Amino acid sequence: MRKLHQFHGGIHPPTNKAQSNQTPIVQANLPSKLTIPLHQHVGNSAVPAVEIGQHVLKGQLIGCAEGNLSSSVHASTSGMIAAIDKQLVANSSGLPELCITLIPDGRDEWIELDPCLDWLECTHSELRLKLRKAGVVGLGGAVFPSDMKLHASQQKIKTLVLNGAECEPYITCDDLLMRERAAEILEGAQIMRALLSTEEILIGIEDNKPEAISAMRAAVLEGKYQGIEVIAVPTVYPGGGAKQLIRVLTGIEVAAGVRSTNLGVQCFNVGTAYSTWRAIRFGEPLISRIVTVTGNVSHPQNFEVLIGTPMDELVAHAAPLNGTRYYIMGGPMMGVPMPSMQVGVIKATNCIIAASKEIFPPAQPALPCIRCTRCADACPAELQPQELYWFAKAKNFDKAEDYHLFDCIECGACSYVCPSNIPLVQYYRFAKSEIWAQEANQKAADTARERHEFRESRIEREKREKAEKLAAKEKAASAAKTQRTEQPPTLVKTDVNPEDTLQLKIQTAIDHAKEQAAAIKPLNTEQLTPAQQAQIDEIEAQRARIREMALAPVADHTKG
């Protein structure tokens, strides 16, 4: 028997699981439309890979992963792309995000898949690439891209933990998955072990799920798996948290700011292991998941649901009752109310609770804190919730961070035990969001300052370069001027008669004219008529008179 450990705090709320775990998983019908968000994972949103009006097949890529930390998105069935626009999605922000609306054609026709008959023949890089292309992410709620988590780190990963605890009330999707598909979960775990080179696999399941524990243990024996142990852990909330389950199974305390991989442990949800197996063995992308539908319905049960199915159409399968006010995605402790009943199911949707006044009565008015310290006793992160409450309420966010606000996992245990009905978790979420907003504003201000400083530096550099060019030009001009002044002056005779100078210029022109005349050979001068010869003689006589006038003394021309 493996020795189990305990984590600090924890509570025991009513489980409310018997309502939905009595019947097998049912395949939900095709909805009238599918609204598929392009951001269903941690990291960058996927980029649309289709166009409006395009016909797609089931499993076809409709959103390409963008960057290293991202995941692909696929068509959940065959049909036509009706819209690519922003719509309300399944989160608590109430802000629209980019979605692809798919209208099913009813044929549910698959693309040609790329199965891997023997995954042992694939390299680790090929396996991780298949998971990235298949859009496999963590189905325990974190939706972190699995191909990134399955990348071998520098630290040796000794233990792979499969999380089947499912500690939150009302949720039973993992319970039914382990009962009905235990062998596939173990096959996926084998792939994960190969990628991480782990020595052992520990599967933690809360002891209020005896059928799931038996099914998993039987599958281990039937498959003759070595190094896999199915362990029943005590039922306590939030025992399904990754850090808490690692603590219970291994005794390793994962401190704040420390990754479990640094301590030789990696944790995955059992649903993630199942999706890993389907993606590798059959080439199926992650286009559906098991969802618990419970609360104000006549037939609570688990459905295998296509990603993008409107929640109201899914809840209709469970025969909803009158009085439903809103839907909660997740459990009553950590779940979030949906902004609309028509939002689509996403990869993180493990449960939908139809909320009514009978199931979730209106919150009682908050009373002053009486310093009873029950919240501190229940906190699994060993924080001081009452102090964090005061700092958050006073908007003293620096002090809240000093008291390790971001170590809070928002499990709601403190709010559950508070006798004053103080919504403690809401205060912590408010403080975190304000700190994130301040950091974002500070980052934007730093970016703007850096841009301004760069601009000023560029302008100063350009001015300096211009001044340097001007100085160099002036220096060159000054050097040339100095060189001209340093050259010896040309000696000029000052006693030359101006008349001699003019006579010299005339003689030069005459010589130049003679040279040009000598260079020109007259055409047709051998056979001349008497008239032509007389004309030439007259021209030559005129030229002779001009020469005589030009050679006459200059003084004769200047006196009159």
Query: Along the 560 residues of the chain, how does pLDDT read in single tens digits?
Result: 788 999 999 999 999 999 999 999 999 999 999 999 999 999 999 999 999 999 999 999 999 999 889 999 999 999 999 999 999 999 878 889 999 999 999 999 999 999 998 999 999 999 999 999 999 999 988 899 999 999 876 678 999 999 999 999 999 999 999 999 999 999 999 999 999 999 999 999 999 999 999 999 999 999 889 999 999 999 999 999 999 999 999 999 988 778 888 899 999 999 999 999 999 999 999 999 999 999 999 999 999 999 999 999 999 999 999 999 999 999 999 999 999 999 999 999 999 999 999 999 988 899 999 999 999 999 999 999 999 999 999 999 999 999 999 999 999 999 999 999 999 999 999 999 999 999 999 999 999 999 999 999 999 999 999 999 999 888 888 888 887 776 665 555 545 566 667 777 777 877 777 777 666 655 555 667 788 788 888 888 888 888 777 776 654 444 44
CB atoms within 10 A of CB 12: 10
**Same-domain pairing of 316 and 231:** yes
Within a domain: 413: yes
**pLDDT in the model for residue 521:** 56
d(CA 46, CA 132): 12
For residue 130, tell me if it sits in a domain.
Answer: yes
Identify whether 516 is part of a domain.
no
Question: Do 396 and 370 reside in the same domain of the chain?
Answer: yes
Range of the domain at 422: 364-462
What is the value of pTM for the model shown?
A: 0.79
DSSP 112: P
pLDDT of residue 500: 66
pLDDT at 525: 59
**Residue 9 one-letter amino acid:** G
Indicate left, alpha or beta for 347 from its phi (over 0: left) and psi (-120 to 50: alpha): alpha
- For residue 540, is it within any domain? no
Any domain includes 10: no
Quote the number of domains for the chain.
Answer: 2
The verdict on 290 and 371 lying in the same domain is no
**Where is the domain boundary, 442, 462, 482?**
462
Q: Kindly report the CATH number assigned to the domain that includes residue 309.
A: 3.40.50.11540
Tell me the CA distances in angstroms from 550 to 507, 515, 545, one per residue in order: 9, 17, 9
Q: Are residues 262 and 349 in the same domain?
A: yes
DSSP string, 515-531: HHHHHSPPSS-SS--HH
282 and 431, same domain (yes or no): no
Do 300 and 372 have their domain in common? no
Examine the domain organization and report whether 289 and 329 are in the same domain.
yes
Residues 156 and 267 reside in one and the same domain: yes
Residues 456 and 404 in one domain: yes
Query: How many CB atoms within 10 Å of residue 105?
Result: 15
Is 396 part of any domain? yes
Residue at which a domain ends, from 409, 434, 462: 462
Indicate whether 267 belongs to any domain.
yes
pLDDT of the residue at 533 = 80
Residue 54 lies in a domain: no
Averaged pLDDT score across all residues of the chain:
90
Each residue of 393-442: pLDDT tens digit?
A: 999 999 999 999 999 999 999 999 999 999 999 999 999 999 999 999 99
Beta strands in 346-482 (DSSP E): 351-355
Give, for 161, the enclosing helix (H) or strand (E). Answer: strand 159-163
Together in a domain, 143 and 239: yes
**Domain boundary residue among 462, 482, 512?**
462
Q: Do 372 and 342 share a structural domain?
A: no
Q: What integer pLDDT is reported at residue 173 of this predicted model?
A: 96
State residue 560's pLDDT score: 44
Q: Which amino acid is at 133?
A: K
Are residues 285 and 152 both part of a single domain? yes
